[in-house]
A and B are shown apart, each in its own frame.
Chain A
Amino acid sequence: MFKQAVMPTTGGLSQVGEKLKQLSTALALPLLGLVCFLGLWNAAAQNIDTSLGQFPGPVQVWEQSKNLLNEHQAEVAKAEAFYERQEQRNEARMAKDPDYVPKIRPYTGAPTFFQQIWTSLGTVATGFFIASIIAVPLGILCGLSKSAYAAINPLIQLFKPVSPLAWLPLVTMVVSAVYVSNDPMFSKSFITSAVTVSLCCLWPTLINTAVGVSSIDKDLINVSKVLRLNPINHVIKIVMPSSIPMIFTGLRLSLGIGWMVLIAAEMLAQNPGLGKFVWDEFQNGSSASLARIMVAVLAIGIIGFLLDRLMLVIQKQVSWDKSATLR
Chain B
Amino acid sequence: MSTGHLELSGVGIDFPSPKGPFTALQDVNLKIEKGEFVSLIGHSGCGKSTVLNIVAGLHQATTGGAILDGKEVNEPGPERAVVFQNHSLLPWLSVYKNVELAVKQTSNGRSKAEMKDWVHHNLELVHMTHALDKLPSEISGGMKQRVGIARALAMEPKVLLMDEPFGALDALTRAHLQDSLMEIHAELGNTVIMITHDVDEAVLLSDRIVMMTNGPAATIGEILDVKLDRPRDRLALADNPEYNHYRHEVLTFLYEKQKKVESVDKHKKKEESSEKVVTDQTDSNAA
In the assembled complex, which residues on chain B have CB atoms less than 8 Å from the CB atom of A177?
none
State whether B82 touches A226 (Cβ < 8 A): yes
In the assembled complex, which residues on chain A have CB atoms less than 8 Å from the CB atom of B92?
241, 320-321
State whether A225 touches B101 (Cβ < 8 A): no
A222: interface (CB < 8 Å): yes
State whether A241 touches B90 (Cβ < 8 A): yes
Which residue of B80, B90, B91, B155 contacts A237 across the interface (Cβ within 8 Å)?
B90
State whether A227 touches B84 (Cβ < 8 A): no
Q: In chain B, what residue has the closest Cβ to A321? A: B91
Which residue of A222, A228, A241 contacts B88 across the interface (Cβ within 8 Å)?
A222
State whether B56 touches A226 (Cβ < 8 A): yes
B281: interface (CB < 8 Å): no
In the assembled complex, which residues on chain A have CB atoms less than 8 Å from the CB atom of B102?
227
In the assembled complex, which residues on chain B have CB atoms less than 8 Å from the CB atom of A217?
88
A-B contact pairs, 6 of them (CB 8 A): A220-B88, A222-B58, A222-B76, A226-B155, A227-B155, A228-B77
B173: interface (CB < 8 Å): no
Interchain CA distance A215-B194 in the complex, whole Å: 28
State whether A226 touches B101 (Cβ < 8 A): no
In the assembled complex, which residues on chain A have CB atoms less than 8 Å from the CB atom of B91?
320-321
B108: interface (CB < 8 Å): no
State whether B105 touches A229 (Cβ < 8 A): yes
In the assembled complex, which residues on chain A have CB atoms less than 8 Å from the CB atom of B56?
222, 226
Interchain CA distance A127-B25 in the complex, whole Å: 55
Interface SS of B by simple majority: loop
A9: interface (CB < 8 Å): no
B140: interface (CB < 8 Å): no
- Chain B residues 45-82 with CB under 8 Å of chain A are 56-58, 75-78, 80-82
State whether B77 touches A226 (Cβ < 8 A): yes
B9: interface (CB < 8 Å): no
Interface centre among A220, A223, A225, by most B CB within 10 Å? A223
A219: interface (CB < 8 Å): yes
State whether B84 touches A219 (Cβ < 8 A): yes
In the assembled complex, which residues on chain B have CB atoms less than 8 Å from the CB atom of A320?
91-92, 135
Which residue of B76, B86, B106 contacts A225 across the interface (Cβ within 8 Å)?
B76
Number of A-B contacts defined by CB within 8 Å = 52
Interface SS of A by simple majority: helix
State whether A228 touches B105 (Cβ < 8 A): yes
Distance between A250 CB and nearest chain B CB, rounded to angstroms: 19
In the assembled complex, which residues on chain B have CB atoms less than 8 Å from the CB atom of A219?
84, 86, 88
Interchain CA distance A17-B282 in the complex, whole Å: 56
Distance between B259 CB and nearest chain A CB, rounded to angstroms: 32
Interchain CA distance A223-B155 in the complex, whole Å: 12
Interchain CA distance A34-B278 in the complex, whole Å: 64
A323: interface (CB < 8 Å): yes
B263: interface (CB < 8 Å): no
Interchain CA distance A222-B75 in the complex, whole Å: 11
Interface string of A166-201 (1 = CB under 8 A from B): 000000000000000000000000000000000000
State whether B137 touches A228 (Cβ < 8 A): no
Interface centre among A225, A229, A238, by most B CB within 10 Å? A225
- Chain A residues 217-269 with CB under 8 Å of chain B are 217, 219-220, 222-223, 225-229, 237-238, 241
Distance between A146 CB and nearest chain B CB, rounded to angstroms: 15
* A222-B58, A222-B76, A228-B77 known; A238-B90 Cβ under 8 A: yes
In the assembled complex, which residues on chain B have CB atoms less than 8 Å from the CB atom of A225?
57-58, 75-76
Interchain CA distance A120-B58 in the complex, whole Å: 52
Interchain CA distance A226-B57 in the complex, whole Å: 8
Interchain CA distance A216-B95 in the complex, whole Å: 20
Q: In chain B, what residue has the closest Cβ to A226? A: B76
Distance between A240 CB and nearest chain B CB, rounded to angstroms: 10
* A219-B84, A222-B82, A323-B137 known; A228-B90 Cβ under 8 A: no
State whether B88 touches A223 (Cβ < 8 A): yes
Interchain CA distance A227-B90 in the complex, whole Å: 13
* A222-B82, A323-B137 known; A227-B105 Cβ under 8 A: yes
- Chain A residues 286-327 with CB under 8 Å of chain B are 320-321, 323
- Chain B residues 77-126 with CB under 8 Å of chain A are 77-78, 80-82, 84, 86, 88, 90-92, 101-102, 105-106
In the assembled complex, which residues on chain A have CB atoms less than 8 Å from the CB atom of B135?
320
* A222-B76, A222-B82, A323-B137 known; A227-B88 Cβ under 8 A: no
Distance between B222 CB and nearest chain A CB, rounded to angstroms: 30
Interface string of A147-176 (1 = CB under 8 A from B): 000000000000000000000000000000
Q: In chain A, what residue has the closest Cβ to B85? A: A219
Interchain CA distance A100-B102 in the complex, whole Å: 69
Q: In chain B, what residue has the closest Cβ to A230? A: B105
In the assembled complex, which residues on chain B have CB atoms less than 8 Å from the CB atom of A228?
76-78, 105
* A222-B58, A323-B137 known; A227-B82 Cβ under 8 A: no
